[in-house]
Amino acid sequence: MSQIEQLQQAVLGHITNPNLTLPQKQLALAQLAESLLPRNPYGEEVEQAFERGILHDMFESQSPFKPRYVLPDYAKAMAQGSEFLELAPPQDLDEALNFLSILYLNVPSVTGYPVFLGHLDQLLEPFVEGVSDSALEKALTLFWQRLDRTLPDSFVHANLGPQDSRVGRMILKVDAKLAQSVPNLTFRYQEGVTPDDLLRRVTDNIIACNKPHVANHEAIDAEFDQGYGVVSCYNALPLGGGSHTLLRLNLMRSFELCDGSEQDYIDNVVPHCSELMASALTHRIRFLVEESGFFDHHFLCKEGLVSLDRFTAMFGIYGLAELVNQLMDAQGMPGRYGLDREATALGERIVAAYRRQVDHLEMIHCEGGLMRLHSQSGISCDKEETAGTRIPVGSEPDPLSHILACAPMHQYFDGGISDIFGLDPTIRHNPGALERLVSGGFGMGLKMFTANLSDNDLVRVTGYMVKRSDIDKFRHQAERHNSTCLGAEAVDVVKILERQARVVSQEQHPVSLWK
């Protein structure tokens, strides 16, 4: 079959796929077209690294025409209105919700849906004076439904906190009541700013529906000059900017490049792989910024809601556990990453070495001229590699030991990191225990706290959610949410629902998404 015939078959496959809704079919076609871009190859060494599986391109093309993640300054938009969208600055709650709903439909990202919805409590609180509790609840309930039905992708992510607010409390109430997989939600917590009873509400929500994530606001904010948002799974990125792209380094595979000793790995492999990463990132970012014209023409840029000088790029790593375990094996040592102190300490030394690289490698068109280190949560094709710097699936210890093992890694990552702590449902009767884990964990340097109770209908897959009931529906008919098909794949490939604390590493991969 010629290439054009192959392409035609692929198109036919998508448009007749009974498991896809119409918007999903159209998205699939667009992504298919994108995958057919003329080759814009990386340098030879980098191409080889991709082929060997040492670098992974997250299925992003070599010629990206939109940034991977965009974080518009929604507050600014609401203050000045939008010329492109022909919207005046909102004056009351209805107008504010209407404004945001419309704006969201026009924010690009790798998934086609906005990965950041803003610090909703801060955005909306100015508009709720004189609005009764019941009216506020109704307005936010309708808003929440609108988000789920118009942006059906659970990488869509809203933030709350750290301060207290009527809107924040009401959103928590609505989110637990509706238990939708969209939007993903993070509460940014800060001791001394967030009242104790609000933390209790947050942990009650986690127990009810495995949402929200809790972010260590003080620790993360310190790494950003002008504010940050938690987006997509759990990436922390500059407000009013975003990330051009994400490229990830397969640490498990990188072991092949060393002689089996820690010394050789740190002295030689770390700098070598970092250079490969930098070269590939430069290639992509250059096309996006200098050729695609995104930053010159897109209305978000023209209206000052995002600006190039607040963009960064993510240097992602994954498979740390497997790298460490291979190094331990090579030394004849039995310790395993995350479970034994020696092995975990080795993991930390490796991460620190990559941190030093990222601190010094210059990157074009990035804030401060530097990239951000990101603990990448994996993709459904990762059969052998554990996500990011996590402990291998199925061998996680009790939540407390899990936190103790993983907390030391968090300090090195300024582009987002998260571990998912599996909780036994008995914690429902003892919510104080969860509060203690959150506040104690943050005290130990944890940047994000994400939990998953095994018996909730909403199941955490990496950093986003799917509903078990939606997965069954997907099998038999089209299901609205794009992210559900990933969840279904996870159920089949890794039997996510059959193992309690099992989490699957996934992220959107445009081309192979629709089967």
Partner 1 sequence: MEIRTLTPVAPRPGVVSRILPFSCVDGPGSRLVVFFQGCNMDCPGCHNPQTIGQCNHCGDCIEHCPNDALSLDRGSGQRKRRLCDESQCQSCDLCLPHCPRSGNPNAVSFGVASLVERIARHAPLLDGVTFSGGEATLQRQFLVRLCDALDREACTTHLGRLIDSNGLLAAGHWPALLERVDGVMLDIKGMDSAIHKRLTGRDNQQVLASARLLAQAGKLAELRWLVVEGVNDGDDELTALIELYHSLPNPPALRLNRYQHHGVGERGQSMAETTSERMEALYRQLSEAGVTLLPLVRL
Binding interface with partner 1 (CB under 8 A):
397-401, 403-404, 424-427, 429-430, 432-434, 436-437, 440-441, 443-444, 455
What gap in Å lies between CA 212 and CA 451, rounded to an integer? 9
Q: Which is nearer to partner 1, 205 or 482 (CB)?
A: 205
CB of 427 to partner 1, least distance (A): 5
CB of 436 to partner 1, least distance (A): 4
Q: Which is nearer to partner 1, 66 or 428 (CB)?
A: 428
CB of 349 to partner 1, least distance (A): 20
Question: What DSSP character marks residue 152?
Answer: -
What gap in Å lies between CA 23 and CA 239, rounded to an integer? 29
CB of 397 to partner 1, least distance (A): 8
CB of 324 to partner 1, least distance (A): 19
Instruction: Evaluate whether 235 touches 69 at the Cβ level (below 8 Å).
Output: yes
Pull the structure tokens for residue 498. Answer: 């059959």
What gap in Å lies between CA 500 and CA 496, rounded to an integer? 8
- β-strand pairing of 372-375 with 311-318: parallel
Q: Which is nearer to partner 1, 100 or 403 (CB)?
A: 403
**Residues 6+ positions from 199 with CB-CB distance below 8 Å:** 189, 435, 438, 439
Helix or strand run (H / E) with residue 373: strand 372-375
- Burial code (b: 16+ CB inside 10 Å, e: under 16) for 364-374 equals ebbbeebbbbb
Pull the structure tokens for residue 258. Answer: 């060393």
Question: What DSSP character marks residue 2?
Answer: -
CB of 162 to partner 1, least distance (A): 20
CB atoms within 10 A of CB 37: 12
CB of 440 to partner 1, least distance (A): 4
Would you call 24 helix, strand, or coil by DSSP? helix
Q: Which is nearer to partner 1, 9 or 401 (CB)?
A: 401
CB of 189 to partner 1, least distance (A): 16
CB of 322 to partner 1, least distance (A): 21
Q: Which is nearer to partner 1, 341 or 360 (CB)?
A: 341
What gap in Å lies between CA 291 and CA 108, rounded to an integer? 17
- β-strand pairing of 311-318 with 157-160: unpaired
Q: Which is nearer to partner 1, 209 or 494 (CB)?
A: 209
Q: Which is nearer to partner 1, 64 or 422 (CB)?
A: 422
Q: Which is nearer to partner 1, 223 or 342 (CB)?
A: 342
Q: Which is nearer to partner 1, 229 or 441 (CB)?
A: 441
> Taking each helix axis from N to C terminus, what angle separates 166-178 and 196-209, rounded to the nearest 10 degrees?
20
- β-strand pairing of 213-216 with 228-231: unpaired
CB of 341 to partner 1, least distance (A): 10
Quickly list H helices, 184-319: 196-209, 217-221, 251-254, 262-264, 270-286, 294-297, 299-302
CB of 400 to partner 1, least distance (A): 4
For residue 334, the one-letter residue type is P
CB of 210 to partner 1, least distance (A): 16
What gap in Å lies between CA 62 and CA 54, rounded to an integer? 17
Q: Which is nearer to partner 1, 227 or 397 (CB)?
A: 397
Q: Which is nearer to partner 1, 160 or 207 (CB)?
A: 207
For residue 55, the one-letter residue type is L
**Residues 6+ positions from 126 with CB-CB distance below 8 Å:** none
CB atoms within 10 A of CB 138: 13
Q: Which is nearer to partner 1, 429 or 476 (CB)?
A: 429
What gap in Å lies between CA 110 and CA 59, rounded to an integer? 10
Phi and psi, residue 242, nearest 5°: 155, -155
Nearest partner of 58 among 73, 68, 49, judged by Cα: 68
